[in-house]
Chains A and B, each alone.
Chain A
Amino acid sequence: MTDAAILPAAGTSSRPAALSGPQGPRPRRALSVRNVVIYGTLTVVAVYYLLPLYVMVVTSLKGLPEIRMGNIFSPPVEITFEPWVKAWATACTGLNCDGLSRGFWNSVRITVPSVVFSIVVASVNGYALANWRFRGAELFFTILIVGAFIPYQVMLYPIVIILREIGLYGSLWGLVIVHSIFGMPILTLLFRNYFASVPEELFKAARVDGAGFWQIYFKIMLPMALPIFVVAIILQVTGIWNDFLFGVVYTRPDTYPMTVQLNNIVNSVQGVKEYNVNMAATILTGLVPLIVYFISGKLFVRGIAAGAVKG
């Protein structure tokens, strides 16, 4: 309110002040060469990035005859949702003809426990590493981080043996363990760095008050670390949902995750290629990570940055 009252007065008496030179950034014309180049380039690239998504959606809404006649970029003349229904409920992989829904529910059954289990294990681990250092802890942590760079192919077969020994090979829980193992380096790093940044006084005060390992974890650290838990969840949900290699190695055909089933549906050699059904199935498989991505926004970026920047 007071600002508004002062402004006109300042406007009239600003002549002397103006002598000290122009203030603020130089005004830019909207259509300068610079802007045209920047926005032009960005727009062209953006179109390139969006085109596949557009083609997917458009193709999945057309009938087969229309696909055979027209071109992939033209919008559907007659919108049909039949490909979506078919992809979800009746598309065939091998002998099973119950569509992608089976893979979807398998993926849910794999992703939910894997995300929970891997994050619980890694957060406690990171907390122990940050606040309760014991002899040798750093060594194990170093091995863990170095291990993150080892190609999965090197460890595929030893894990098959381990899972077979404990009787979990081919089962859903076997896959949950595998996802927890391979999520551990990045998640432990994430949590360790976060807990290490918590002021030490807080931890010491709790220690003086007689709180133990688990009490401090649940009463102090856990509530403070909620944002990092969200980042970890985003990271894990997209990562595990999108996994193909572990799904194909450690599960059986009836417990295949969605990505594996999708590949089997689309790349099956028998029968007529139903491009619209294939594209509907592809969108359905990509939908979960896409929704996570669009909802999480900046947190997603934070997650991948956390995965990238070493502590």
Chain B
Amino acid sequence: MNEGRTTPPRRVLRNLSAKIASIPMILTATVVFAGGTVWTVVHSFTNSRLLPRLNFIGLDQYERLWSTPRWLTSIENLLVYGGLSLVLQLVIGFVLAALLDQKIRFEDAFRTIFLYPFALSFVVTGLVWQWLLNPDFGVQHVVRGLGWESFTFNPLYDQSIVIYGILIAALWQGTGLVMCLMLAGLRGIDEDIWKAARVDGIPMWKTYLFIVIPMMRPVFVTTLVIIASGIVRVYDLVVAQTSGGPGQASEVPAKYVYDYMFAAQNLGQGFAASTMMLLSVAIIVVPWAYLEFGRRRS
């Protein structure tokens, strides 16, 4: 490097413009992302209520958190909603992508239709499905009107199944994205592999199951991580569709955090709950990052 000839003070000034240009990134990375996370975790061990205070009380906030029925409901909902939406989105998304990949006509039209809900916000999604699932006017009412008088499908007013009502809306909104990612993955598969499988007389479903899907492992893993980190964050959909009700039956962790931090003015609980959310994301992301980037290095 030519700059090596100059005197040491120049080292700081080297690439000065690039360094100045990177200041927003450096501040975001260190102050907000790293600093903010540490700050929240540290304050989750305090008894902060209206204002953040460094008055440490050990794990009290966590003990209280895990003995609060509302938090337990939230976690249970998240597991049911998360597990089902993960599996269903992957399966439906892949099947749709595979169907679109059959060199069909109107592919663009179908894709446009499957993806448009993804452009809409969760608030809009939640409100539409709130209307569609309205027991007095929506699907239940229409089916009863067709003559099936005893038909009952009332998820938004039934505590035991309300989370499935939210699931339906979430699938409608998000599956298009999964389909798109899967389709991109399928298009990346070498045409020769299909030809070879056909020559060997392997039926199509077997080719998908035993050859194509294993080859698409990276796409599946990436999609999984994207869906999973979205699931943990689910908030506006619930707020719009059910406001956590009926009762507390459709509460989710993100809503618990918001309500305790900004409405109940119990900051410590909010911090503890958000730290638990961080932990759950770490459980998903860290093994993935380790596999993905650890392997690449070797």
Contact = CB atoms under 8 A, between A and B. Distances in A.
A154 B236 contact: no
Nearest to B289: A146
B21 A125 contact: yes
B261 A156 contact: yes
Interface residues of B, number: 93
21 contacts: A46-B110, A49-B172, A71-B142, A72-B131, A129-B22, A129-B25, A134-B22, A140-B26, A143-B33, A147-B32, A151-B233, A157-B39, A157-B270, A184-B24, A188-B25, A242-B123, A275-B134, A282-B124, A285-B123, A289-B121, A290-B116
Interface of A: 38-39, 41-42, 45-46, 48-53, 55-56, 59, 67-68, 71-73, 121, 124-125, 127-129, 132-134, 137, 140-141, 143-144, 146-147, 149-159, 161-162, 180-181, 184, 188, 212-214, 238, 241-245, 248-249, 259-260, 262-263, 266-267, 275, 278-279, 282, 285-286, 289-290, 292-294, 297, 300-301, 304-305, 308-310
A124, A161, A279 pick with most chain B CB within 10 angstroms: A124
A49 to B, nearest CB: 5
A151 B19 contact: no
Question: Secondary structure at chain B's binding surface: helix, strand, loop or mixed?
Answer: helix
Given A49-B172, A155-B33, A242 B120 contact: yes
B99 A52 contact: no
B281 interface: yes
Contacts of A128: 17-19, 21-22
B31 A245 contact: no
Given A42-B99, A73-B142, A162-B32, A238 B261 contact: no
A141 B119 contact: no
A42, A278, A297, A309 pick with most chain B CB within 10 angstroms: A42
Contacts of B30: 140, 143
B226 interface: yes
B122 interface: yes
B240 interface: yes
B172 A127 contact: no
B121 A125 contact: no
Interface stretch (B66-74, B154-162, B272-280): B272-280
Given A72-B132, A266-B240, 10 more contacts: A121-B24, A124-B21, A141-B29, A143-B30, A151-B232, A151-B281, A154-B36, A188-B25, A300-B115, A308-B223
